[in-house]
Amino acid sequence: MKLILLGAPGAGKGTQAEIISEKYDIPTISTGNIIRAALKNGTEMGLKAKAYIDSGRLVPDDVVIGIIKERLSDTDCQNGFILDGFPRTIPQAEALDNMGVNVDAALSIEVDDREIVKRMSGRRVCEKCGASYHTEFKKPANDGVCDACGGKLVIRKDDEPDTVHDRLDIYHKQTEPLKSYYKTQDKLIIVEGQDKVSDTTELVLKALSEI
Ligand code: ADP
Ligand code: ZN
């Protein structure tokens, strides 16, 4: 299965991606995670992206398109993949089409802005491995400590409230138009994000089983 996950920042794409990835045995490709890893490793791409990512703006299309092109050529993508956070603009979606990548569906997880702002304030990430948690919805076994690697859990710079508002704005202006883009291709699936992660998962898995 080749799947695109759409949705506002904080709608729970990453969490659902992890579950789908395990169930269908396909990798999740998160442009956000790839960029943050590059940033941590101090690569040239990471340095270029830093100012954008910290301020919540989108990294330029050519940079993320390059990342995706390279990643999709890896052998583990042959049986399918989940794109989490790509495409985020119409030119990115067009680039994917032009690469000859024919996705099965674009699944949009919908959560309203007020709820997003509330959720983002509780989001925490592991500074070592990047795993993400939530103070209310996805607690680690030990407060402030990553289950996976024991790293310290911190607030991502772009999850600060002011930046979240800007990111939502960008989402509505630049990413939401992708819903009509994929609707035209008859690939759009909409799932309402629920309060409980497992309830959203149930809706997501049911929708995917019907593709
Ligand atoms: P979230 O899951 O909260 O939406 P991500 O980890 O996907 O956040 O993305 C964080 C940041 O990484 C974005 O605000 C943006 O700066 C950059 N980024 C990730 N994916 C893309 C993309 N497809 N196009 C442009 N910028 C991107
Ligand atoms: Zn960790």
Q: What is the DSSP string of the chain?
A: -EEEEE--TTSSHHHHHHHHHHHHT--EEEHHHHHHHHHHTT-HHHHHHHHHHHHTPPPPHHHHHHHHHHHHTSGGGTT-EEEES---SHHHHHHHHHTT---SEEEEEE--HHHHHHHHHTEEEETTT--EEETTTB--SSTTB-TTT-PBEE--GGGSHHHHHHHHHHIIIIITTHHHHHHHTT-EEEEEPPSSHHHHHHHHHHHHHT-
- Whole-Å CA distances, 97 to 18, 62, 91: 24, 15, 10
Rounded distance, CA 150 to CA 174, Å? Answer: 37
Counting ligand 1 atoms within 8 A of each CB, the residue from 13, 39, 58, 109 with the most, and so the one to mutate, is 58
Rounded distance, CA 69 to CA 167, Å? Answer: 25
Residues with CB under 5 A from ligand 2 (ion): 126, 128-129, 131, 146, 148-149, 151
Which pLDDT belongs to residue 137?
A: 84
- Report yes or no on whether pTM surpasses 0.85: yes
Phi and psi at residue 198, to the nearest 5°: -65, -30
Q: Which residue has a Cα nearest atom 4 of ligand 1?
A: 9
Query: Given the CA of residue 13, which atom of ligand 1 is nearest to it?
Result: 2
Residue 87: asked if its preceding bond is cis (omega within 30°), the reply is yes
What is the residue-level pLDDT of the chain in tens, covering all 211 positions?
999 999 999 899 999 999 999 999 999 999 999 999 999 899 999 998 999 998 889 999 999 999 999 999 999 999 999 999 999 999 999 999 999 999 999 999 999 999 999 888 899 999 999 999 999 888 999 999 999 999 999 998 889 888 999 999 999 999 999 999 999 999 999 999 998 899 999 999 999 999 9
Which pLDDT belongs to residue 210?
A: 94
Which pLDDT belongs to residue 118?
A: 87
Enumerate the active-site residues.
Answer: 13, 88, 123, 156, 167
Which pLDDT belongs to residue 143?
A: 96
Query: Given the CA of residue 49, which atom of ligand 1 is nearest to it?
Result: 16
Q: Are 124 and 153 in contact (CB under 8 A)?
A: yes
